[in-house]
Amino acid sequence: MIPVTKPYLPSQQKLKDYIDSIYERQWLTNNGVLVQELTQRLEAYLGVENLLLVSNGTLALQVAYRSLDIAESNRAATPEAITTPFTFIATASSLKWEGVQPIFADIDSNTWCIDPEKIEAAITPNSRAIVPVHVFGNACDVEAIDRVAARHKLKIVYDASHAFGVRFRNQSLLNYGDASTLSFHATKLFHTIEGGAIVFKRKEDHQRATKLINFGITGPDSIGELGINAKMNEFQAAMGLCVLDEIESNVTARSLVSRHYDKHLPLCVERQQWNMEANSNHAYLPVVFESQAQALAVLHRLSEAGVTARRYFYPSLDQAELEMGTGQTMPVSRDIASRILCLPIYAALKPAELSLITDLVKEVVAS
């Protein structure tokens, strides 16, 4: 069986050493030693400041909205945030959980990221923020989005769950927007089993979020505001430190897998148009076929051979069964979502397995 991805498991001995140190200290959570170390090392590796580790990527989004007052409730009308329909459900559902109505803006047909012109058209008097997604790690048009946000005085929270290690114009892509959020789920390029992070532009927003993730507690006998429990624990941080130690070899191995696909996939298969001023972290391998029927035929043929592919992101969220309450139709997102498959990519994929996958894709496309 060839899965669509495999969690990266680092040196077992190194992880044991970290766990032994946790047992020695008996400090399991509440900003422990390893959480502090991982925070510092990630800031250095990624080239960012004001990074806050949290327990998962969905809470990273929710805490970011709260910290930036996007979810402020003492208003006559429901606050709105403009986001993409071509994303994982958590991007939109996290807004709904915080009392913010997601308003969809369609995607660019080549990059698959949110179209800045469509963002502008979706703005209303109730708009409070823009929540773009760096889809599959591909950098959004951050400068155009910045201009739209500035014109309309909107906050920007980037869902950068796929963009670990991506740099744009020689700096971290995570430095754009008022905040960028990361997911450190086990299936991600970098993971802490479960976990996430927020990178804030401003130190004061980071300071507020630090209190929010610990129930809003501001001192031994004081609670400053309504908070939540979103802290990362020491065991998560231990895994993260081990994975970070080996991140370069992991990315290099994945880049070789990507190179095989680039060389051997049929030319008629559509690939994502990459932002030429940003690097790729090789987190995903998405391809778009000429029709939904062809994509489903490839999916079926791969499954017969024991290969798992995934329809990321299907369905487009504007047609998901979960009611988002927008009543919108996003034709580009629907079209791409109907024809896309993510093919297997992980460091341990063998050349023979890669050849099997590309041969099967060619077989269906040629039939």
Among residues 177, 178, 167, 113, which one has the least CA distance to residue 140? 113
Asked if 188 is an active-site residue, the reply is yes
Task: Yes or no: say if 83 and 130 are a contact pair by the CB < 8 Å rule.
Answer: yes
The span from the CA of 129 to the CA of 64, in Å, is 11
Which residue of the set 155, 188, 201, 231 is catalytic?
188
Task: Yes or no: say if 285 and 258 are a contact pair by the CB < 8 Å rule.
Answer: yes
Rounded-to-5 percentages of helix, strand, coil across the chain: 40, 15, 45
The span from the CA of 66 to the CA of 71, in Å, is 6
CB within 8 A of 288, min separation 6: which ones? 269, 270, 271, 295, 336, 339, 340
| Cis amide linkage into residue 184, ω under 30° from 0 | no
Place of tokens 């905040």: 179
* Whole-Å CA distances, 319 to 18, 38, 130, 330: 45, 39, 20, 9
CB within 8 A of 21, min separation 6: which ones? 33, 34
Task: Yes or no: say if 92 and 120 are a contact pair by the CB < 8 Å rule.
Answer: no
Task: Yes or no: say if 58 and 94 are a contact pair by the CB < 8 Å rule.
Answer: yes
Token digits of residue 184: 């450190």
The span from the CA of 254 to the CA of 262, in Å, is 12
Let me know if 331 is exposed, middle or buried by CB neighbors in 10 A (0-12, 13-18, 19+). Answer: exposed
Among residues 106, 134, 110, which one has the least CA distance to residue 120? 106
Task: Name the DSSP letter for residue 74.
Answer: -
- One-letter amino acid for residue 24 of the chain: E
The span from the CA of 59 to the CA of 340, in Å, is 28
- Residues noted as catalytic: 188
